[in-house]
Structure 1
């Protein structure tokens, strides 16, 4: 079973909770973990920036990723949000099956 872990930082807890609920409700993600705030340091528009952000760990599949990315872009308040998908190399087979079965299929 192929799964992806998508990492996305958002500006605050309210946005994190809203995005998590929408992605799971619309079956674009099987699960979204909302992590505690972290400090991000980055360059934006030629300036060094520092911000508190809330990381999201989003579980989906390669087939589900395009729809998830499109929806996440529409929900996210940043002009260029961090959306990074990493392949899950290994995992408990029952969990990976659950992730796949939790998402929209071509039969839905």
Structure 2
């Protein structure tokens, strides 16, 4: 198990906004990388209405301890009132890649 690393999924209405946001997170060392998918189909209910829209999605790789900081930043900067941000611990993977995630991220305040 590698509970110290997680994958964080964020969706957004605009692929370019999401790519720019991801780039900032990487530059600020809140995540090691982001794998962007420009077009997904999202079907959801919001305030009583059903929506069927195209969105973008990114999967970030980060330290589990940084997830709350990513959530806070997303809530401040995201165009949605309630953005989708969900994290899943990475339970296994290429040891060298998992170490790279740790090497490329830093604790806030470090």
Q: Taking structure 1 as the reference length, what is the TM-score of the superposition?
A: 0.92
Q: Does 1:83 align with 2:85?
A: yes
Structure with greater proportional strand content: 2
2:66–2:108 Cα contact (<8 Å) kept: no
Q: 2:60 aligns with which of 58, 61, 77?
A: 58
Q: Shift of residue 107 of structure 1?
A: 7.2
SS at match of 1:32: strand
Per-residue Cα deviation, 1:50-91 (whole angstroms, up to 9, x for no partner): 110001101111111111111122221100001000111101
Q: Taking structure 2 as the reference length, what is the TM-score of the superposition?
A: 0.91
Q: Which moved more, 1:37-46 or 1:9-18?
A: 9-18
Q: Which runs of structure 1 show a deviation greater than 4 angstroms over 4 or more consecutive aligned residues? A: none
Q: Shift of residue 105 of structure 1?
A: 3.1
Q: Does 1:67 align with 2:69?
A: yes
Q: Tell me the matched-pair count.
A: 108
Q: Shift of residue 106 of structure 1?
A: 6.3
What is the correspondence of 1:7-46 to structure 2 with a 5 Å cutoff?
7-46=9-48
Unaligned ranges ≥5, structure 1: none
